[in-house]
């Protein structure tokens, strides 16, 4: 997502690089631990309040990540539909540089339309081809489908270029990473180069150790303290952090002040029902929230902690942002860059992240148990609803217990 600001070039540079950016990846099922493709979007935005919405307004039903203030859900920033077609984006800042018109920032609308209409990568390619030009987009769209498809589409106002994760010439290790610069764009006009290297090193290590799975991405990549340029993982120094405030400059980490959510869509094997496509959403600031799974088969009644009332916010996102205030206590000047890392991890094991990880681990365990059972028998809406009720109750109680009565 991008925002036009008519201010000094210096401030524009700060806002673009620190706020409206994303770190993303797609992985072919040929290379994952369980043979299922994965789509990952670690979202950075100036819309801190996010929610999930369930839609029935298209050819296919779908679930989307939406800004909370978008009451009708007109734009979707990552999502999956009833066919297993899933999509997300990373904004590009090195394409459309000569365009002087006002038709821009249409990525959220385009992804919503794609979820309404598309079932396969081929459908999406036709969809992009048929859209009126200019399309009003500058994005790398990452897409997976239930047929094993996994590809990026670098898209500008008039054209797109496909990068296929199943093509070993393009993705020799089966994954493609994208931040906010295009491979078809103007050299050195994009953003996210250090974040790209952060993700590259993380993926390379996970691939080498056969750990390319959805849990690794959520637990390690979406919560990474690794800085590739400094060759430093700040989590390695946990025993040096006390309960007192200790700061690091987190401006070039994958998780930054502007990180508002992370989505990992765990697809299906060829021949497996697309109903099993699982959308994991880390709603809110990733260091202070937990991942929750949803399925299209569960219907419109998603977990209550992930949805918003008509004029409200999602409870889980609300709780996450309340905890985030401890992470960035300096509000003046460039204080937004400086993370109080001891609030998240410390040698006394009292950090927010250290309290959250066991809560989330139970969700992973329960979900894996359910999916194992469901894949043998059948995926039933009633059982999914029962599981959503358990998640709502469990997460709310655990946050209340771990964080001194915290409620949304």
Across the range 240-254, mean pLDDT stands at: 95
CB within 8 Å of 167: residues ≥ 6 apart: none
Q: How far is CA 60 from CA 13, 115, 118, 156, 175, in A?
A: 39, 7, 8, 26, 27
What CA–CA distances, in Å, run from 287 to 35, 84, 341?
28, 28, 10
Instruction: Please give the average per-residue pLDDT across 190-214, as a whole number.
Output: 96
pLDDT band (50, 70, 90) for residue 12: very low
Q: Which range is least confidently modeled, 6-20, 311-325, 369-383?
A: 6-20
Query: What does the pLDDT read at residue 243?
Result: 85
Q: Is the dihedral of CA 372, 37, 178, 68 positive or negative?
A: negative
Closest CA to 201 of 174, 172, 215, 221: 221
Give the pLDDT score at 20.
67
Q: Are 84 and 60 in contact (CB under 8 A)?
A: no
**Which residues lie below 8 Å from residue 220, measured CB to CB, with a gap of 6+?**
202, 206
Residue range 373-382: mean pLDDT, rounded: 93
State the architecture of 9-402 in CATH terms. Answer: 4-Layer Sandwich (3.60)
The two structure tokens encoding residue 54:
């369930």
Q: Can you tell me the mean pLDDT for 61-83?
A: 97
Q: Name the strand (E) or helix (H) holding 160.
A: strand 160-164
Could you give the CA distance from residue 173 to residue 150 in angstroms, rounded to a whole number? 13
Confidence check: pLDDT of 133 > 50: yes
Mean pLDDT of 43-68: 98
The Cα 74–Cα 67 span in angstroms is: 9
Instruction: Report the largest interatomic distance among the alpha carbons of the chain, rounded to a whole angstrom.
Output: 60
- pLDDT of 14 higher than 50: no
DSSP for residue 180: B
Lowest mean pLDDT among 126-130, 268-272, 397-401: 268-272
Task: State yes or no: pLDDT of 3 exceeds 60.
Answer: no
Chain CA centroid to CA 154, Å: 18
CA-closest candidate to residue 274, choices 62, 77, 113, 26: 62
Residue 111 has pLDDT above 70, yes or no: yes
C-alpha 230/C-alpha 261 separation (Å) is 25
Q: Tell me how far CA of residue 25 lies from CA of 40, 44, 115, 152, 285, in angstroms.
A: 5, 14, 19, 9, 19
- Where exactly are the structural domains of the chain? 9-402
* pLDDT tens by residue, 281-324: 999 999 999 999 999 999 999 999 999 987 799 999 999 999 99
**SS3 state of residue 155:** strand
- pLDDT, average across residues 340-354: 98
Question: What value does the mean pLDDT take over residues 222-247?
Answer: 97
Give 17's pLDDT tier (boundaries 50, 70, 90).
very low
Nearest to 141 by CA among 131, 130, 128, 126: 128
For 84: left if phi > 0, alpha if psi spans -120 to 50, otherwise beta; the answer is left
Q: What is the pLDDT of residue 391?
A: 98
Give pLDDT, residue 310: 75
pLDDT value, residue 378: 87
Q: Give the tens place of pLDDT for each residue, 91-106.
A: 999 999 999 999 999 9
């Amino acid at each position: 997502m991008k925002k036009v600001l008519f201010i000094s070039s210096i401030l524009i540079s700060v806002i673009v690089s620190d706020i409206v950016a994303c770190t993303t990846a797609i992985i072919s099922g040929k290379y994952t631990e369980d043979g299922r493709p994965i789509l990952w979007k670690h979202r950075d935005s100036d819309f801190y309040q996010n929610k999930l919405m369930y839609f029935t307004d298209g050819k296919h039903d779908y679930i989307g990540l939406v800004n909370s203030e978008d009451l009708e859900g007109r734009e979707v920033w990552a999502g999956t539909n009833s066919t297993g077609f899933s999509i997300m984006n990373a904004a590009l800042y090195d394409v459309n540089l000569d365009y002087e018109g006002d038709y821009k920032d249409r990525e959220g609308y385009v992804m919503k339309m794609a979820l309404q209409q598309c079932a396969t990568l081929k459908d999406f390619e036709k969809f992009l081809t048929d859209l009126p030009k200019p399309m009003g987009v500058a994005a790398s769209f990452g897409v997976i489908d239930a047929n094993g498809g996994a590809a990026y589409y670098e898209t500008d106002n008039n054209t797109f270029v496909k990068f296929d994760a199943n093509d070993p010439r393009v993705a020799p290790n089966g994954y493609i990473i994208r931040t906010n610069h295009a491979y078809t764009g103007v050299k050195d006009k994009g953003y996210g180069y250090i974040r790209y290297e952060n993700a590259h090193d993380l993926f390379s290590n996970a691939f080498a150790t056969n750990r390319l799975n959805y849990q690794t991405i959520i637990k390690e990549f979406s919560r990474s303290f690794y800085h590739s340029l400094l060759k430093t993982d700040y989590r390695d120094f946990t025993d040096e952090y006390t309960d007192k405030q200790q700061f690091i400059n987190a401006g070039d980490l994958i998780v930054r002040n502007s990180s508002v959510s992370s989505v990992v869509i765990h697809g299906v094997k060829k021949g497996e029902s697309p109903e099993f496509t699982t959308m994991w959403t880390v709603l809110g600031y990733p260091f202070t929230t937990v991942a929750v799974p949803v399925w299209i088969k569960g219907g419109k009644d998603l977990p209550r902690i992930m949805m918003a009332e008509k004029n409200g916010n999602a409870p889980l996102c609300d709780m996450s942002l309340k905890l985030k205030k401890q992470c960035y206590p300096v509000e003046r000047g460039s204080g937004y860059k400086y993370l109080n890392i001891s609030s998240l991890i410390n040698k006394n094991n009292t950090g927010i992240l250290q309290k959250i990880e066991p809560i989330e681990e139970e969700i992973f365990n329960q979900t894996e148990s359910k999916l194992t059972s469901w894949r043998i028998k059948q995926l039933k809406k009633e059982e999914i609803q029962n599981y959503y009720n358990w998640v709502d109750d469990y997460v709310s109680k655990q946050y209340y217990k771990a964080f001194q009565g915290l409620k949304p």
